[in-house]
Structure formats: structure tokens, C-alpha cells
Amino acid sequence: MKKNLLVIISGIIIGLSLGFLVVINFIVPDKTFSIINPLAPKKIVIGFLPYWLLNTAKSNYSNYVTTLSYFGLRVDQNGNIQKLLNPQQEEPGWYALRSGKLDQFFNDALKNNVSLSLMVVSGDVNSINGLVSDPIVHAKNLVSDLNTLIDKYKFSDINLDIEYTQSASSAARENFTKFVTEVRKELKNSETLTVEISPTDVINNNLIDPKAISKLADSIVLMAYDYHSTSSYVTGPVAPISGAGVESEYDVTTAVEKALDLISPQKLVLGIPLYGYEWESLSQVPRSAIIPNTGVAASNRRAEELLSSCSSCSAVLDKEADEKYISFLDENLGDYHTIFFPDKDSTQAKIHVANEFQLEGLALWALGYEENSILNPLTSYISK
């Protein structure tokens, strides 16, 4: 009888503990004690691994990511995985996968309880128009092509990265939603579906309808970067935390807020960059004019190596953006080089945004761009 009573009491105590939906803090002098909801969903971090960064990426990212997502395989206008660019040349994403170049990355991930995801990509307007012209048939074609790969490489997630940022008709938007609906239907219940969206997708009538897609996908990745890029006219941060309407046209926080009008925070993943951009510019101050056609991508690694080798270079914080930049005179050309780039502090700032809005997690574009410390804040993020 006493034993049964103890079991009942223990069950009540455990039940009460599990019932907490928030962290309750008990504050006493100089100490803070927390009871954390054990049912709270674990934070996820998706690390995108592109085929062109395999030589610079680490084989094991288990301290920093919960999902390793391979970028990726190209889908054609019929929903089939593209294996050839032409009769003499394999599609590079397909070649990297089938040649075994990814085997060590995948094996290390699975050994360390990191799940595997496969990205299906297209940025070609004509191919995407063809894809959504017959959405159900083309979705079936896609999953049929993927099934063997899912089984062979143990992918547990399919990530659709269909980047069509032009305005789309209502019929095209409905057809893309039908395409995603059929992909979800054809996948096994044990396999999850992730969809990428851009910040403009949540404010314009682009092809992707975020509200409709969020009801079908398990996760939505908001690619909150490229606010300045090689096509910009002035230098500036690649992913400014704030400053919309003042220092920038748009920013990460505003994009998240707009996305949350359409998507549950439990499904929204904040995409963050591990790279920036380098331009030749007319002055050293931020938002100075860029000399046309001089912009190139600049990885975190490029910026950190420059800081360690250039005695006259230093990183300056753009406080509004919460992102650093380096600017130095090119004595040979007589102009300036300006690099805006992310580092561990900007990673921490993005973590703060994810925590503030209680998002599902973060996604990193892309593994292989990083130097030593930019990923460090993620260790404690995924362990909480």
C-alpha cells in the first residue's frame, strides 16, 4: 500500500513539473534558480552543406547543428532530378552525391545523432513555371526519384528550395501549393518536409504562399540575408538586425515579424549567413557608393584571415545592423575595399532574435564559409 502511495505521489509531482509551459524563475540574493519545461521542443539548427564547399567544410558539425542538409539536387520542369547538364557533363550536385564525396559527412552526422536532409533546388524561372504547370504529376515524379536516395543515404527530411521571387498569378500560387501538398502526401510519415522562403515572400504575392505552405511543411526557413549583395549600389550589412526605414530598406527583425503574421513561431526557422560581401567603394563609411561590378562574396573565413594578416585593418561595428565591417585603402587602385561580414557576435545577435520570438531554430548558410569562432554560440543554443 505504501509503495502504491509513493508511486501515486511521484506521478503527481512529475505531472505538475511537466505542466509548466514556461520557465519560472525563483530569484534569491545573488542566485537564480529555474524550473524548465521538460516538454519544451528542442531547438534545431540546420547546417546547409553545398557541394562546392566540401573541401573547406569540417566532416563533423555535431556540436553546432542538429540537421545536416545537403545542397543539393536540381529539379527540372517535369519534377525529375537533373543528373546531366549536357550529354558530356554531370550536374555537379548530383555528381558530388553519387561519387561518394559526401559519405564521410553523412556517416559522421549519423554517428553523432545529427539528422540528414536533402535539398531539392531550382532558381530557374522557366523550369519553375514548368514545374507548377502540372503540380500533382510533377510532385509524384519528384518523390519517385527521391525515394531510392532517401533509403540509400538515410535522409529523414526533404527541403524544397524553389527560389522564384517574381510576382506570381493567383493560379501559379495555388499550383505551387498543390505541388507541395502532393509532395507531402507522397513522402512517408516518418519523413519531414522543410520549405525555404525569402523575406520578400512574406510581403509580396510571390509564387510561395507562406501561410498556405506553413500548414503543409514541418518547418519553414526564412532566408534572412542578402539585404546587401553584389547587385547593391552601396555597401552595407548582409543581414542587419534592425534599421528598416532608417539605415536599411528591410531588416531581419522586421522580416521575422512579418513572417509571424503568417507562420507559427514553432515552425519558423531563421536563416543566418556565415558570409558577407566585399566591394570596391568610394569611401570607408558604410552605405558608400560601390564601384560597379566589383562585388564578390566574402566568407567569414576571408574576413577573419584578413584581420589576422593585415596590420592596418580593424573591424568596426555597425551598431544598428549588429554586424561588423572592414574598410581599407587599396593603394594600387586608389579606392577602398569594404567588407561587411558576420562573426560570433552577430551569431549571438541572431540567437537573441530567435529566442525573443520563440522560433523553432536557426539555419546556417553555409557550412564551409566559417573560420574558428562564428559557430561557438550555437553549442549552448542547441543544448538548452
What CATH fold (topology level) applies to the domain 44-274+344-383? TIM Barrel (3.20.20)
Query: How far, in whole angstroms, is CA 35 from its chain's centroid?
Result: 31
Q: Which residues pair with 297 in a beta bridge?
A: 277
- Half-sphere exposure in the Cβ direction for 376 (13 Å, CA): 8
What 3-state DSSP class applies to 143?
helix
Tally of CA atoms within 13 A in the half-sphere of 252 that contains its CB? 32
pTM: 0.89
Q: Give residue for cell 549519423.
A: 110
Contact 270, 359 (CB under 8 A): yes
Residue 75 backbone zone (phi > 0: left; psi -120 to 50: alpha; other: beta): beta
Q: What is the DSSP string of 48-68?
A: EEEGGGTTTS-S--TTT-SEE
For the chain, domain boundaries:
8-35, 44-274+344-383, 280-337
- pLDDT for 247 equals 83
* All residues at 6 or more sequence positions from 117 whose CB lies less than 8 Å from its CB, including other chains: 46, 67, 68, 69, 70, 155, 156, 157, 158, 159, 194
In 317-331, which positions are buried (b, 16+ CB within 10 angstroms) versus exposed (e)?
ebebbbbbbbbeeee
Check residue 70 and report its DSSP letter.
Answer: E
pLDDT tens for the chain, 384 residues long, are 444 544 444 454 444 444 443 333 434 444 333 344 445 567 999 999 999 999 999 999 999 999 999 999 999 999 999 999 999 999 999 999 999 999 999 999 999 999 999 999 999 999 999 999 999 999 999 999 999 999 999 999 999 999 998 899 999 999 999 999 999 999 999 999 999 999 999 999 999 999 999 999 999 999 999 999 999 999 999 999 999 988 888 999 999 999 999 999 999 999 999 999 999 999 998 999 999 999 999 999 999 999 999 988 999 999 999 999 999 998 888 889 999 999 999 999 999 999 999 999 999 999 999 999 999 999 999 998
